Amino acid sequence: MAIGGVEALDRHYSAFEGNWTVADCSADYGRLVVPHGNSEAPLYRWFHLKEAFSSRLLDRLLPDVGLSACADLSIADPFAGSGTTLLSGISACEGNGRRASVFGVERNPFIWELAQAKLQARIHGKAISGSFAAELEKIKKFYEDLNGEVFAVPSLSTLRNEKYFRPEHVQDLLRIRHAIDSGSTEATRAIFRVSLASCVEPCSRLRRDGRALRFEPSREPKFPWDVFLQRVDMVRRDLDLTDPASSSGEVFLGDARQVSSLALERDFDLILFSPPYPNNIDYTEIYKTEAWVLGCYESEAEMKAQRQRTIRSHPSVRFAQDFAYLKSGFASDVQDLVDPVVARVPLGDRYQEGRIEVITGYADDMLRVLIECREIIRSNGRLVFVVGNSLHGAGDSKYVIAADVIMGRLAEICGWRVSEVKVARMLKRRSGESAFLRESLVVLEPA
């Protein structure tokens, strides 16, 4: 039995999807749209970004979209996250004796540093292993010298809550950061800082769980310096395992909605990304303890400003009510797409405004990203995005945001053709709920 408005919206989504090839690719792609294999893979295992896709996705995808790593490739990811596209793009080309030129954009300052550290490591590999080891010795010395210093605890209340973090552990994390900032050089600092960031969760009683940090009272927090030494040992081994690449790459701290100006005249064979899904995950929140320990924010106001800069995918912050599509030539097409979804938002509850803002704000942001990407794709290039759809509301007022269909249609509106929707996973559904509850890869080519 269909629930509430779910069925009506399914018809709306089906009308767009009817023009596209939709294939069940779950056997091939089900494990590739999640971080399968990343926790064992050198470099990828430095920090677990739960929302990453697999380091093995690109190898599978390239031939499927008609691109070959037997040629030099230029590859972009405007939502670089932990850098999976960038690293795996380099490895795919280098494995065939070719070169990749990779380019990424990431908005979150900690996640950007993570991508940057891994990219540096992928490009230089064992060539920087010696200086990494020498700098570690300096860091150890600075760490010892800082013994007895008391550091100002960041104003984030989570770090001040003794149920979550022991005060001496917070001091130790800060001491390591100061030692890194004094003992490392530009070439390796991000790698050491990411090693420190990976200690934050195991040294707390918090666990990242979907949309929130959960309190785990029975967990015994580890001592930061011990964990840090284990992490840098693994990082050193990974550097030794990595042959330097002849490929090149950069990742910018910036906004995907401005990717064409950040790309500075470059154009790309492949743009591959997974944007924040419109499912309430707030990356600023989920990765806040790492960002504060690294000193990415000096005040609550800075963290709030960071939240405001992210894609409008979550209602945890009220975003500016400006919609670029209204001033574009696409306004009526976008409204035909979005209005039926907005009409399903249950009226009168306290989430109503936030929910409507997520639908219209997300569509507006994604349209901007797709317009920008259209400017920087080569004429025979491909854009692939990975996105998950989600169920919102409760009871009879449930509705699905089919981000794959919404983005596919937005892409058509701004000069792309949808070559294929590869359904990678059906998400948990109870009987009667929408067939659009799924995670997909949508393949686009310039129209």
Ligand X SMILES: C[S@@+](CC[C@H](N)C(=O)[O-])C[C@H]1O[C@@H](n2cnc3c(N)ncnc32)[C@H](O)[C@@H]1O
The residue within the footprint of ligand X, chosen from 106, 113, 172, 364 (CB under 6 A), is 106
Residue (49 or 410) nearer to ligand X, CB: 49
Which letter does DSSP use for residue 245 in this model?
A: P
Can you tell me the distance from the alpha carbon of 67 to that of 71, in angstroms, rounded to the nearest whole number?
A: 9
- Of the candidate spans 12-20, 101-109, 329-337, 400-408, the one that interacts with ligand X by CB under 6 A turns out to be 101-109
The residue within the footprint of ligand X, chosen from 81, 104, 154, 361 (CB under 6 A), is 81
Strands in 73-77's sheet, in edge-to-edge order, are 22-24, 416-426, 438-446, 377-388, 268-273, 73-77, 100-106, 248-253
> Residue with structure tokens 């050198």?
42
311 to 370, contacts with ligand X by CB under 6 A?
A: 311
257 to 276, contacts with ligand X by CB under 6 A?
A: 257, 274-276
The site for ligand X, by CB under 6 A, has a size of: 23
- Of the candidate spans 75-83, 124-132, 160-168, 261-269, the one that interacts with ligand X by CB under 6 A turns out to be 75-83
Residue (105 or 421) nearer to ligand X, CB: 105
Under 8 Å CB-to-CB from 24, ≥6 apart: which residues? Answer: 423
The residue within the footprint of ligand X, chosen from 111, 286, 371, 383 (CB under 6 A), is 111
The residue within the footprint of ligand X, chosen from 17, 51, 172, 201 (CB under 6 A), is 51
Helix, strand, coil % over all residues of the chain, rounded to 5: 45, 15, 35
- Of the candidate spans 49-57, 90-98, 147-155, 217-225, the one that interacts with ligand X by CB under 6 A turns out to be 49-57
- Of the candidate spans 222-230, 250-258, 340-348, 416-424, the one that interacts with ligand X by CB under 6 A turns out to be 250-258
From 168, 126, 136, select the one nearest 42 (Cα to Cα).
126
Q: Is 105 among the residues that bind ligand X (CB under 6 A)?
A: yes
What is the tally of helices (H) and strands (E) in the chain?
17, 12
From 222, 218, 214, select the one nearest 168 (Cα to Cα).
222
From 400, 370, 431, select the one nearest 17 (Cα to Cα).
400
Considering the complex, what minimum distance in angstroms separates the CB of residue 318 from ligand X?
A: 16
Considering the complex, what minimum distance in angstroms separates the CB of residue 88 from ligand X?
A: 9
The residue within the footprint of ligand X, chosen from 20, 47, 82, 410 (CB under 6 A), is 82
Contact flags string 278-307 toward ligand X, x per CB under 6 A: -----x------------------------
Q: Is 116 among the residues that bind ligand X (CB under 6 A)?
A: no
Residue (108 or 204) nearer to ligand X, CB: 108
- Of the candidate spans 90-98, 195-203, 255-263, 405-413, the one that interacts with ligand X by CB under 6 A turns out to be 255-263
Q: Is 408 among the residues that bind ligand X (CB under 6 A)?
A: no
Residue (247 or 284) nearer to ligand X, CB: 284
DSSP secondary structure, 326-382, as one string: GGSTTHHHHHHHHHHHHTTSPTTSTTHHHHHHHHHHHHHHHHHHHHHHHHHEEEEEE
Can you tell me the distance from the alpha carbon of 80 to that of 86, in angstroms, rounded to the nearest whole number?
A: 8
Provide the pairing of β-strand 248-253 with 100-106: parallel
The residue within the footprint of ligand X, chosen from 101, 108, 188, 279 (CB under 6 A), is 108
Q: What one-letter code names the amino acid at 432?
A: G
Inter-residue contact 156 to 292 (CB < 8 Å): yes
Can you tell me the distance from the alpha carbon of 127 to that of 242, in angstroms, rounded to the nearest whole number?
A: 9
Considering the complex, what minimum distance in angstroms separates the CB of residue 408 from ligand X?
A: 18
269 token code pair: 């064979």
19 to 38, contacts with ligand X by CB under 6 A?
A: none
Residues at the contact surface with ligand X, assessed by CB under 6 A: 49, 51-53, 78-79, 81-82, 84, 105-108, 111, 255-257, 274-276, 283, 310-311
